[in-house]
Amino acid sequence: MKPILKVENVYKNFGSKIVLKNVSFELYPSDILGIIGPNGAGKSTLLYILLNIITPTSGKIFYFGKDFFKNRSEILKKVSFASQYVSLPYSLTVEENLKVFANLYEIKKADKKITELLDLFRLKDKKKVLTRALSSGEMMRLNLVRAFLNDPLILLLDEPTAGLDPEYVKYISELLKYLSKDKQLAIILTSHQLGELEKIINKALLIKNGITLAYGTLTELFKKFKVNSLEELYFKILT
């Protein structure tokens, strides 16, 4: 099977500060990769490089076998992103925000799609509400609705469950797991909630100061480092 995302030797420095050093990994359909590391490890920078929001200093990125930097617009039609820390414009209603993005992703039958997704993420009654009136949990779910508008093949999530009620953390985790299995969706996510992360990811990339300290499937990593949980792995490698 061919990887749907291939990251080769990515470096990033801001001036003299090295943020990422020689990061490489591959992602296959239905993979759920957790990028794990302490604050300032370079996790978000890596996600933003994978979205072409930050330009890498060097390295190559291939989505679906195509060079990302030469086919950005075409590739981003099937890649999506959501973050707890980036909200949609507050002055528009939930529906208006989604309609804007439905146009940006050239979604056909957008109204139907929006209604279905709002239902799936339990936001149906918030359709006409101004985005500023949403709670942080509802805002994250709205971000996820936006991220699923284009039926992505790869989904990048920056701390998707931070600030959510335990009920929604469980719901979102189960939903992501279901979508990855059922729709062959590949997911990359960062999170500090190692317990929750361990339940859904099958691969992990552990980084510190921009350097990859471990990468592989959870089974391989647990065996290699002789640990029984992600938390143990984290403390063994990263501290």
Partner 1 sequence: MKLSFKRIWGIILRHLYLLKHSFSRWIDLLYWPTVDLLLWGFITIYLQKDFYPEGKWVFQFIGALIFWNILIRAQQGLAVGFLEDIWARNLLHLFVSPLTITEYLLGLFIFSLFKAFIASLLMAIIATFAFNFKIWLQGIDIFLMVFNLIFFAWSIGLLTMAFILFFGQEAEILAWALALFFLPFSAVFYPVDVLPKFFQYMAQFVPTSYIFETMRKVLLEGEVSYVLILKAYFLTIIYFFISVVIFILSFNFAKKMGKFTKIGE
- Asked if residue 6 binds partner 1 (CB under 8 A), the reply is no
128 touches partner 1 by CB under 8 A: no
CB of 150 within 8 A of CB of 107? yes
In angstroms, the CA 118 to CA 146 distance is: 10
Helix (H, G, I), strand (E, B) or coil at 167: helix
Q: Is 146 among the residues that bind partner 1 (CB under 8 A)? A: yes
User: Is residue 151 within the footprint of partner 1 (CB under 8 A)?
Assistant: no
Terminal alpha carbon distance of the chain? 35
Binding mask 87-126 for partner 1 (x = CB under 8 A): xxxxxxx--x--xxxxxxxx--------------------
Residues touching partner 1, count (CB under 8 A):
36
Q: Could you say whether residue 16 binds partner 1 (CB under 8 A)?
A: no
Residues with Cβ within 8 Å of residue 166, at least 6 apart in sequence: none
When the beta carbons of 102 and 186 are compared against partner 1, the nearer one is 102
Site for partner 1 in 33-52 (CB under 8 A): 44-45, 48, 51-52
- The rounded distance, in Å, linking the Cα atoms of 197 and 206 is 13
Q: Is 182 in the site for partner 1 (CB under 8 A)?
A: no
Q: CB 151 → partner 1: shortest distance, Å? A: 13
**34, 158 in Cβ contact below 8 A?**
no
Nearer CB in complex with partner 1: 81/215: 81
Q: Please name which of 205, 159, 148 lies closest in space to residue 182, comparing C-alpha atoms.
A: 148
Q: With respect to partner 1, which residue has the nearer C-beta, 143 or 161?
A: 143
Main-chain phi, psi angles of 163, to 5 degrees: 80, 5
Cα–Cα distance, 83 to 220 (Å, whole number) = 29
Instruction: Name which of 103 and 229 has its Cβ closer to partner 1.
Output: 103
Q: Which residues bind partner 1 (CB under 8 A)?
A: 14, 44-45, 48, 51-55, 72-74, 76-77, 79-81, 86-93, 96, 99-106, 130, 146
